[in-house]
Amino acid sequence: MAPETAPAWTVISQQETLDLGPNGSFIQGVKVGFRTASCALGTVFIPSDAYTIERVRAAVAERAAAMESVAGLTG
């Protein structure tokens, strides 16, 4: 049996909140917290009217991939 691989990211929190939109109005949504495979912590904001499993999965995967690409970066 092959060893299990760790997931690329895991959702660790969800919080309903308001965010300031580009035109200065408030947008209701959910701030989704996640942890990457390298233990980096991040969040994404999803507007309530777009809050679906697919949208959360896509947004978290995109942000987690960007964060993992700089994990351990040195100068």
Strand order in the sheet with 9-20: 9-20, 26-36, 41-47
pLDDT at residue 72, rounded to an integer: 74
Encode pLDDT of 41-75 as tens digits: 999 999 999 999 999 999 999 999 999 988 777 77
Residue 10 has pLDDT above 90, yes or no: yes
Residue 19 has pLDDT above 70, yes or no: yes
pLDDT, mean over the chain:
92
pLDDT at residue 75, rounded to an integer: 76
Exposure letters 5-35 (e unless 16+ CB within 10 A, then b): eeeebeeeeeeeeeeeeeeeeeeebbebebb
